[in-house]
A and B are shown apart, each in its own frame.
Chain A
């Protein structure tokens, strides 16, 4: 009986997500905000509370985070990361300072305390590399000359996440300063060792994982990622970072092939993850936060725009390109929800979840739309000049 209701509920949710995805595709927007709304509708206080599948959804959500970060890591190889770090460290730092500030400021002004401030800083900081990559490709901006600047900022952000997530995990766990420092040191050491191993002995890892058989490859990559994620979690370094590092360590043709195999799996569990975040949030709690979320979204659109303009100008890009770089950086999505999810799970301020949900809803939906609407305008202005 239990299995029957579980299947009915899960099937209903996933089918509904599929329909929403089709709608998003037609409207040319990211499906992420729709998945979040679906989660809000199903969960506590929603129109359709779930009876039995919450437990499965919560485990599925954790798998979703691991797979999101693993596939993200697979996109990069260690060489690219090092080059990006060297060439764009200054732009990356400006990005960090300008965009972490609004979130941290809001949390402090509301009196949520320093722990929530660190979490909110992460929520406003990270651009969604998934949505931005899609915007770049949909609008034909991949060949544009400002695009390498945008991509290297995204790489910088992702690397920053590898340091930030362990710090956040430690702070949320309420460990003392000394224990926190140890955790961060372990995180740094782990990241360093993985990067070194990937640079020097990448071939050995590739050799172990590689297989002409897709099934074997899939099992080996997912197994390795989960294993490392689990060990990382045990060391308080955060499972997500472990999976991300596994992705970076694999490189070349192998990474490409593994990514292609993992994407369907990732799409399924990532959708479950967004729903899960929505489930945990009471839709009634979002309304009081809506104005604040919109204000925060507006401020951080401006700060991302400024970041893009600054970094692109440094790279010698003209006005129109600078504006495009800024706009491309606006979307927020998966990472921000991952961060907010960690904070909510650790029992942060009850309003943090709804604020983050509202904020990401606005920017995940509006970011790509802004790019689409503003593109002809920028071109027209550039023509006239």
Chain B
């Protein structure tokens, strides 16, 4: 898929692409932060037949809705593509020593070399969590690394 970027002098930037089914979409990012989601006319391919104005909050919400289920799927694809790279989804159980503690306390990367790339909580994906992200029982930690390092992370999260 090719995303075409065009400068709109005095207004901002436009990114556009054509979908698999032949519809053309674009996002116009205005300098002041406003975004327009633009859908082009089927019959007049240069005309925006629909331009939906989104503020910061709405744009974020849309991204999350469209993007969240894709993160785990993309990790799995990545895993398939790169040999030797493993992604695991590790649930935090009730007995884990890290329940209620910041994620950074586990010092996962220092100790194993694997990285925590996301935490799934209540169906929502928190991508790239900061070290002060507080873990909770029932969270699912998505970890990426080699086979050994990821299983070492599983041990750390369950037993300390």
Contacts and interface: CB of A to CB of B under 8 A. Distances in A.
Interface of A: 75-76, 80-81, 83-84, 129, 133, 140-148, 151-152, 154-155, 256, 317-318, 320-321, 324, 378-379, 382-383, 385
A122 B36 CA distance: 35
Contacts of A148: 6-8, 14
Contact of A75 (B9, B26, B36): B9
A151 B13 CA distance: 12
Contacts of B16: 145
Contacts of B36: 142-143
Size category of the B interface is 20 to 34
B48 to A, nearest CB: 4
B9 A143 contact: no
B43 A143 contact: no
A155 B9 contact: yes
Given A142-B8, A151-B11, A324-B47, 13 more contacts: A75-B9, A80-B7, A141-B47, A143-B26, A144-B48, A145-B46, A148-B14, A151-B8, A154-B9, A320-B44, A379-B44, A379-B47, A385-B43
B117 interface: no
A142 B28 contact: yes
A146 B7 contact: no
Contacts of A320: 44, 46-47
B83 to A, nearest CB: 42
Contacts of A151: 8-11
Given A142-B36, A143-B26, A80 B9 contact: yes
Nearest to A378: B44
| 3 closest residue pairs by CB, A with B | A321-B46, A143-B38, A143-B48
7 contacts: A143-B26, A145-B16, A148-B6, A151-B10, A256-B32, A318-B46, A382-B41
B46 A84 contact: no
B51 A140 contact: yes
Contacts of B45: 145, 318
Interface of B: 6-11, 14, 16, 26, 28, 31-32, 36, 38, 40-41, 43-48, 51
Contacts of A317: 46
Contacts of A321: 44, 46-47
Contacts of B31: 256
A78 B10 CA distance: 11
A152 B14 CA distance: 14
A144 B7 contact: no
A141 B20 CA distance: 25
Contacts of B47: 141, 144-145, 320-321, 324, 379, 382
Contact of B51 (A80, A129, A143, A146): A143
A326 to B, nearest CB: 13
A81 B9 CA distance: 8
Nearest to B48: A143
A253 B38 CA distance: 25
A314 to B, nearest CB: 14
Nearest to A129: B10
Contacts of A146: 46
Q: Which of A133, A144, A321, A385 has the most CB of B within 10 A?
A: A144
A258 to B, nearest CB: 13
B48 A76 contact: no
B70 to A, nearest CB: 25
Nearest to B16: A145
A133 B40 CA distance: 20
B32 to A, nearest CB: 7
B44 A318 contact: yes
B11 A83 contact: no
A154 B31 CA distance: 18
A84 B9 contact: yes
Contacts of A83: 7
Contacts of A256: 31-32
Q: Which of A142, A148, A152 has the most CB of B within 10 A?
A: A142
A383 B41 CA distance: 9
